[in-house]
């Protein structure tokens, strides 16, 4: 990797710690690295490589209503969620660039099912961003979503299988409420934590994430 790319990759890690969604991590274990600034981090990720890319609010992590994780459920489109389920969901976000151009990009963030709308094939969900504040300027508080755009976060205390080394996952970046693609590099503390290499991080710069927030989904 050239010096320019190395500098850009280091900046990506730094920018992930300065975004409006930083320091809002619902976590089961230590997290050692901060979270992203939306537009700047994305611009740097495009330079680095042409690859695709805290405490919770009161009442968010009661551990009672999330549905246990499974690979099958994460990939199927006909999943039925219930009110209160904790999820990672994909939202569209408008990014304003320095030249005034506005683009629309997709990103995964933490959410909680607030309402079930309709039945059968027409079923949709209202998902709440639990970290929304009027001052954040980071999108609305509620989003309309479908099961195909959501991944369940396992209930706290669930028994979860270890991931094999090299598996591609979707994981919560430490100290943020955003999920990014990552590669499993190892496990710690009896499998309760996972060592991950996030996309566009320098090789060897690993982050530790709770197994619960390391989802069996390619993003």
In a domain, 7, yes or no: yes
In a domain, 118, yes or no: yes
CA distance 137 to 87: 22
Higher pLDDT, 198 or 138: 198
- Verify that 81 and 146 share a domain, yes or no: yes
Give the chain's length.
219
Q: Which residues contact residue 99 at a Cβ distance below 8 angstroms, ignoring those fewer than 6 apart?
A: none
- Verify that 78 and 147 share a domain, yes or no: yes
In a domain, 166, yes or no: yes
In a domain, 64, yes or no: no
Q: How confident is the model at residue 169 (pLDDT cuts 50, 70, 90)?
A: very high
Question: Average model confidence (pLDDT) for the chain?
Answer: 75
Q: With 80 as the cut, is the pLDDT of residue 152 above it?
A: yes
Q: Mean pLDDT over residues 7-28, rounded?
A: 47
pTM recorded for the entire structure? 0.68
- Verify that 112 and 145 share a domain, yes or no: yes
In a domain, 62, yes or no: no
Q: Mean pLDDT over residues 30-52, rounded?
A: 37
Q: With 70 as the cut, is the pLDDT of residue 145 above it?
A: yes
Cα 39–Cα 86–Cα 20 angle in degrees, nearest 5 = 25
pLDDT of residue 102: 87
- Verify that 133 and 165 share a domain, yes or no: no
Total number of domains constituting the chain: 2
Domain boundary, last residue among 152, 182, 199: 152
Q: With 50 as the cut, is the pLDDT of residue 17 above it?
A: no
In a domain, 13, yes or no: yes
- Verify that 78 and 141 share a domain, yes or no: yes
- Verify that 77 and 136 share a domain, yes or no: yes
- Verify that 79 and 147 share a domain, yes or no: yes
Domain boundary, last residue among 152, 168, 203: 152
Over the stretch 86-133, which tens digit does the pLDDT of each residue have? 999 999 887 888 898 888 888 999 999 999 999 988 999 999 999 998
Return the CATH number at 40: 2.30.30.140
By residue range, what is the domain housing residue 169?
Answer: 3-55+158-215
- Verify that 132 and 177 share a domain, yes or no: no
Q: Mean pLDDT over residues 167-177, rounded?
A: 96
In a domain, 136, yes or no: yes
Exposed e or buried b per residue across 182-192, where buried means at least 16 C-beta atoms within 10 angstroms of its C-beta? bbbbebeeeee
In a domain, 23, yes or no: yes
Cα 35–Cα 40–Cα 43 angle in degrees, nearest 5 = 115
CA distance 90 to 156: 22
Return the CATH number at 83: 2.30.30
Q: How confident is the model at residue 22 (pLDDT cuts 50, 70, 90)?
A: low
Domain boundary, last residue among 103, 135, 152: 152
- Verify that 133 and 179 share a domain, yes or no: no
The radius of gyration of the chain's CA atoms, rounded to the nearest angstrom, is: 17
């Amino acid at each position: 990797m050239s010096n320019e790319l190395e500098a850009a990759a280091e900046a990506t890690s730094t920018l992930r710690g300065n975004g409006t969604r930083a320091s809002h991590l619902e976590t089961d274990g230590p997290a050692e690295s901060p979270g992203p600034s939306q537009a700047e981090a994305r611009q740097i990720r495009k330079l680095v490589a042409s690859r695709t890319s805290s405490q919770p609010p009161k009442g968010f992590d009661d551990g009672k209503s999330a549905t246990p994780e499974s690979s099958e459920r994460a990939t199927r489109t006909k999943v039925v969620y219930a009110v209160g389920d904790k999820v990672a969901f994909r939202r569209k976000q408008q990014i304003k660039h320095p030249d005034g151009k506005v683009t629309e990009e997709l990103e995964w963030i933490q959410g909680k099912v607030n309402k079930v709308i309709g039945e059968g094939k027409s079923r949709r969900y209202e998902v709440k961003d639990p970290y929304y504040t009027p001052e954040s300027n980071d999108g609305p508080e509620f989003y309309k979503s479908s099961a195909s755009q959501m991944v369940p976060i396992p209930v706290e205390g669930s028994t979860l299988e270890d991931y094999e080394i090299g598996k591609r996952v979707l994981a919560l970046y430490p100290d943020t409420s955003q999920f990014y693609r990552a590669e499993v590099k190892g496990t710690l503390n009896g499998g309760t934590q996972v060592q991950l290499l996030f996309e566009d991080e320098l090789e060897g710069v690993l982050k530790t994430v709770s197994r619960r927030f390391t989802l069996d989904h390619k993003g």
